Every structure is written in C-alpha cells, then in structure tokens.
Amino acid sequence: MTDAEKIKKNSDGSLNVPDQPIIPFIEGDGIGPDIWRATRLVIDAAVEKTYAGKRKISWLELPVGEKGYEKTGNYLPQEALDAIEANVVAIKGPLTTPIGKGIRSLNVAIRQKLDLYACVRPVRYIETVPSPMKHPEKINMVVFRENTEDLYAGIEWASGSDEANSVADFLKTKMGVDLPPAAGIGIKPISPANTKRLVASAIVHALENGFPSVTLMHKGNIMKFTEGAFAQWGYQVARERFADRTVTEAQLYDQYDGKVPSGRVVIKDRIADMLFQQVLLRPDEYSVIATPNLNGDYISDALAAQVGGLGMAPGANIGDACAVFEATHGTAPKYTGLDKVNPGSLILSGAMMLDYMGWKEAGTAVRDAVQAAIKKRRVTYDLARQIEGAQEVKCSEFAAAIVAQMK
Ligand code: NAP
C-alpha cells in the first residue's frame, strides 16, 4: 500500500484519484457522530471488499460546527474550507445552525464559500421501503439544483426597514412600480453564467451515466426574465457546447421522427407546477432535471417523498474545484447519542462519492448491500414503523447488517 495522497483535478476537470486518497470528513452535530460512524464502517468495508485491500481511504477529520467552535472558537474555520479545497472531495454529516451567531446557515456558507454551485440529488426507489406511489420503481431521476443564486441568495429586506423603504422609493421614482405599503422585499437574481455552468454539469452527468434526457424546470411563463431566461440559457449551452450529443424535443419531432439518435440526450423544458404533476403521473418520462435554486429545493424533497422519504435521500454539492457529499436531513437533536436514527442518507451519499471518484464498483457494492439489508426487514425505527413485519435495530446494527450483505 502506498502512502496517503491528495486527490487532484486534471486540467480537463477529471479527477486523478490515488489508491490511498485523503478524504476530509465533517462528522456533524446532533446525530452526526452516530451516522458518520455507521457510514465510515460501510464505505471502508465496500472499498476493502471491492478492491481486496489495493485501495483504501485515508480519512482526515475537520472540526466544523460545534466541534469547530470548541476547538477553535469558530464554527466554520477557514482551515477546514482550505482542506476541502486542497483535497477536492469531502463528506459531511448535518450541522446545527448556530442561532444568533450571525450565520444564516453553516451549510449555505460552505456551499457559497467553496462555490459548490450544483446541488445534486439522485432519487431512486429502494425495494421494501413504503412509498405513496403505485409504481415507485419507475422513478430514477437526478435533480441538479442551482445552489448560488435565485431568491436563496439571501438578498432581502424586512418590512418597514430603511433598506426596504429605499428600494421601494427607487422602484417608485425610477421604475414607476408601486409596491404595497411596508412590503418586505426579496431579490431574485438568475444569471447566464451560473445557469449555463449548472445546466452543462447536468448534461455531462446525463451523457456519462446513460440518462436519456435533461429537463429544464422553470416558471418562465410568469417570471420571464429570471426563470424563462434560465430555460433559454439552458438550451443555449446545450447548442454551444453539446450540439453533437444533444437534441431538443422540438428537433426530435421535426427532424428525427420522434426517435432519439444514438448517443444523444434529449433537452426539454417543463413549467414547474406541471412538472410536479408529471413526476407523479408519468415518472418514467423524466431523468435528469436542471432547475433554479428554489424550484430545486421543492422538487428534491417532493421526489424523495415519492420513493419513501428524506431519511434515505443522498445528496452532494459540487463545484468546479471540489465536491462535498452530505446527508440531506438535519441534526435531529432529540436523538443525539442514542444510536437510533437511520444512517441511510449519509451512507448513500458516500456511495455517490465513490461513484464521483470513479470507484463505481464500490459505490454499487454499497447500494446493493443497503438494498439487500432493507429487504431483510431489520431496519432503524423510522423504517420499522412503516414496514410490516420489520424488526427495529440500532443505527450501528443497521450498518453492520449492511456490511454483512457485502459478498
Ligand atoms: P431534522 O434534523 O432533519 O429532523 C426532523 C425529523 O426528521 C426528525 O425529528 C426525525 O423525525 C426525522 N429524521 C431526520 N433525520 C433522520 C434520520 N437520519 N433517521 C430517521 N429520522 C430522521 O430537521 P430539523 O429538526 O428541522 O433541524 C434540526 C437542525 O438541523 C437545525 O439546526 C437545522 O438548521 C439543521 N439542519 C441541517 C441540515 C444540514 O446540515 N444539511 C439540513 C437541515 C437541517 P421523527 O422524530 O418523526 O422520527
């Protein structure tokens, strides 16, 4: 075994992953330590079994959140951000948002400071998990949510504040727009550059992973210069950068008799509210979805519910320089230290991380073992209360049951 080394980015954006990569982790607050222990056990076992000891992750702990505050007096030390950037790939548990410490959210701060512009959430059904859908197995989608702008950018002013009054004055005198008295005001910036890099990463994901389409989800019929422009810039980047590997829905019927030419991904767009209906009624027609920040927040959680809830939903925040894989739920403080909760979300985020590193066989080993363990119906409390005939096990026991399923 060689010494631990950093993962590096090649000039074309691909990764150079050594056999013993250093991967920083943030354990997280609340239930973080429980689900991190379980996740580390499963990832290490999958790598060990898949590569027979030839590959091994060298974990590097970063004190962030409450641990960061205890050690450094800072919830999000700059050294931690530097370490993530230097090592390219990292994984994190949930973090408490410190109330009244001047931080809107540690998670949002990490995304913004590292310019992790794509929030990527795969949604796929795990057999035996109860779902409200008749055919949840038809759902196989990946949401690419823009992470840095839109109403989420946090540009807003409270009702009656000097700032809100100044903006209202400006709108009245310079733009001829009258707002209702004492309106709170939020700004929705959506830019061509940020849209294009997000949509390009969604198209690359579809091409590299055999997904048939990328749907641009927007509300452009009403918000023409933000959401409508998002769709136009999405089509534009497909034309500019992927002309020979994509085809629009319109071209498909005008030029190709409705048959997708081999090796091409279909680019289509749907109005947001209509897409919510479509993913319920005809889920097999959608695969990769690219969308602005706020729509992405809603559709990711709705889709997670369609396959059985947030407890098992994995996620990642990915930028050009680095990527952070994370549980999508919060710190569930009432379960802190009880070894009780479901570690599935962080474990499946770990599987995404292995895929991203090019260790796809190990990622598949994790997903297959999670599926096999759940089929045995020995699951954590959240699933046990929904699955008939299930036996409740602790977080650590669930992780051990997953490892036991690895061939
Ligand atoms: P939460 O921590 O996600 O917990 C809400 C409920 O979801 C829990 O009480 C539990 O429901 C269920 N749940 C969450 N994780 C689970 C798991 N692994 N296994 C089984 N059930 C799970 O949401 P919250 O209470 O709104 O937020 C608590 C803190 O987390 C806040 O400080 C918030 O800022 C932070 N947060 C962090 C992140 C992040 O780091 N990405 C994301 C969201 C929230 P039952 O009690 O019904 O079983």
- The pLDDT tens digits of the residues spanning 265-292 come to 999 999 999 999 999 999 999 999 999 9
- The answer to whether residues 379 and 344 touch, using CB atoms and an 8 Å cutoff, is no
Look-up: residue for tokens 């081999």? 262
Q: Is a pLDDT exceeding 80 seen at residue 102?
A: no
Place of tokens 């952070």: 324
Straight-line distance from the first to the last Cα atom of the chain, in angstroms, rounded to the nearest whole number: 23
Substitution site in 112, 310, 331 for ligand 1 pocket (most atoms within 8 Å of beta carbon)? 331
Q: Is 340 in the pocket of ligand 1 (CB under 6 A)?
A: no
Annotated catalytic, 297?
A: yes
d(CA 204, CA 307): 25
Mean pLDDT over each residue of the chain, to the nearest integer: 94
Q: Is 375 a catalytic residue?
A: no
Q: Whose CA is nearest to atom 3 of ligand 1?
A: 330
- Within 10 Å of residue 180's Cβ, how many Cβ atoms? 7
Strand residues in 136-236 grouped as ranges (E): 140-146, 156-157, 185-186, 213-218
Q: Which residue type does 119 have?
A: C
Contact 301, 292 (CB under 8 A): no
Residue whose CA is closest, atom 7 of ligand 1? 332
Instruction: Decide if 246 contacts 260 (C-beta within 8 A).
Output: no
Place of tokens 């993530």: 84
Alpha-carbon gap, residue 95 to 116, rounded angstroms: 17
Residue 344 beta carbon below 6 angstroms from any ligand 1 atom: no
Tens of pLDDT, residues 330-369: 999 999 999 999 999 999 999 999 999 999 999 999 999 9
Q: What is the pLDDT of residues 55-87, one digit of tens each?
A: 999 999 999 999 999 999 999 999 999 999 999
Neighbours of 150 (CB within 10 A): 25
With tokens 């046990």, the residue in question is: 384
Average pLDDT over residues 127-141: 92
User: Which H or E element spans position 219?
Assistant: none
